Chains A and B, each alone.
Chain A
């Protein structure tokens, strides 16, 4: 483990940014944290987390997949893919780091999504341990330790110092780069912080939330539960939960005619939207209840069934704080799990 003083953090950032694009949570003008590109002196936000999750780095809301040129009856397909520049994302919380594992299992499964894979290959994740979780946090429900975040490098911030620990080859390379600006140290201060955070985690209102009622193979048990009606009753059918969610990865592919050729692009989509499953001749989910159920069944049953029991939720709490009607996965789990 290595450390640097917070006073020298900007020089460390400068060193990292000298060979890769560096992104970190920064306070925006209206007081919310947003992942932004680091420039000389850009201060790290003190906020617990960003409104938008860091999934954007690998699976952006909108991206061009290819272009077409058409002339008469002919079509030319233009590959617009470019090798991603090396980049580092600093300050990713434990929950969000876990979300990348969940996205990987979708996008890196054969056939690999080359757009996503390229960004994964070129991105380095530097996580940052939490010390002041919010009441909306429930990462421990999914076995995530907010005080021991994964990632290529894990960091812990104390009153005066930043501690760095490499976990992967990519991480080792990054640590090597900032070797001169950091010093070898014991992990005592980190351990102390971890113990303190663990005590706080136990006090969180959602600390008791558990996944006992969920997992692969529970479709029959859960699908026709009458509670879905009540749970989905007030759902507006908007996509807020989906779009702030670090693990939601459904997408749409659309064509945009620029007047000078066609761009085929991919954008986030939401199973909460009425036209998500609409075909030319029908729609297999006609009610909001069915669409609402799909989102939670996918996270809590279908995804784990296909992925060795891994749930597709990391307990980041974004949907808890952003749903316009305050309906969310924690409430769904409590209701269906028998409170």
Chain B
């Protein structure tokens, strides 16, 4: 279902390597199956041609890798950015987390990524291949003779169902056509939770967060979590933990993290994508975004480089603390 092809991207990367524009390519490397794709840095044509892949399972947001992968390299690193990735890209630049001069960014269109769990919910386990015939996904299982045809819209990742933008906000070069900022329904679920009674809401989050195994994947994948040493990893912080002493602490971890990335979170959805326990962590962040939009006017982190989030920018028109307090009261 992607409009741009793997071949187009490979040829582009090869030509930029050849003419010396870049020395490295941050891209996707094919796995054992068609859906288990690993981010990789390629530095030669042969490995690109052998392993580079682009398909409906290239969901990983590469922006955060720029922090580590641009360090200590000679020349420039080519990175392919989907529209949503470009917001993280800008946000990281705003926070001076990598050297822009080290990066050659190509914006590529994205038609939305597939969620393998949703594919399996329809086709069952035992998937041996997933191909695209241009419109439909053809899923071959070891248990079926013929491939099962699946409509991409039925297996879209949650964050893609509620895609906020098909527009690239940062690039050196664009491949394909740029899209528009979308009028997504991404806050609907937040509204639904807001409408709950405090008890219901507490129960909802308790149920979700109690599954947490504290693997830290949400934090480690989050492009807004780029502290060199996370406070939760510092043994001297007094809050260093792998696993909680009690459930309450677990809830605190996610809420503290949501506070920490508030105003900087671009709503890229990596936290929920990587969660092995399917906890909808992005909803916590969306709640903060929605609150900020309502209190201080629409703000999208990463839309431009250098913009200040309402939480770090004071204006005379800002809501008085008392009004914020009253809002909380009403919502309760």
Contacts and interface: CB of A to CB of B under 8 A. Distances in A.
Interface of A: 30-32, 48, 51-52, 61-62, 132-135, 200, 203-206, 230, 233-234, 236-240, 242-244, 252, 254, 256, 263, 265, 267-270, 273-275, 278, 320-322, 324-328, 330-331, 334
Contacts, number: 127
Per CB-CB distance, the 8 closest pairs between chain A and chain B, nearest first, are: A267-B243, A324-B274, A326-B36, A256-B245, A236-B220, A238-B217, A134-B125, A322-B276
Given A51-B277, A205-B32, A239 B215 contact: yes
A256 B31 CA distance: 42
Contacts of B31: 326, 331
Q: Binding site of B, secondary structure by majority: helix, strand, loop or mixed?
A: loop
B260 interface: no
Interface of B: 31-33, 35-41, 60, 65, 116, 121, 124-128, 142-143, 213-217, 219-221, 229, 233-235, 240-245, 273-274, 276-278
Nearest to B229: A274
A30 B274 CA distance: 16
B241 A230 contact: no
A275 B235 contact: yes
Contacts of A48: 125
A243 B218 CA distance: 14
Contacts of B245: 62, 254, 256, 263, 265
A238 B243 CA distance: 13
Contact of B128 (A135, A254, A256, A327): A135
B32 A133 contact: no
B242 A267 contact: yes
B278 A268 contact: no
A236 B225 CA distance: 12
Contact of A236 (B37, B126, B221): B221
Nearest to A250: B242
A32 B278 contact: yes
Contacts of B116: 321
A61 B213 contact: yes
Contacts of B214: 61, 239, 243
B217 A273 contact: no
A134 B35 CA distance: 14
Contacts of B242: 239, 252, 267-270, 273
Contacts of A205: 32-33, 128, 142
Given A236-B220, A240-B215, A326 B277 contact: no
Given A236-B274, A278-B235, 14 more contacts: A30-B278, A133-B125, A135-B33, A238-B216, A238-B274, A239-B213, A239-B215, A240-B213, A240-B215, A254-B245, A268-B242, A325-B39, A327-B38, A331-B38
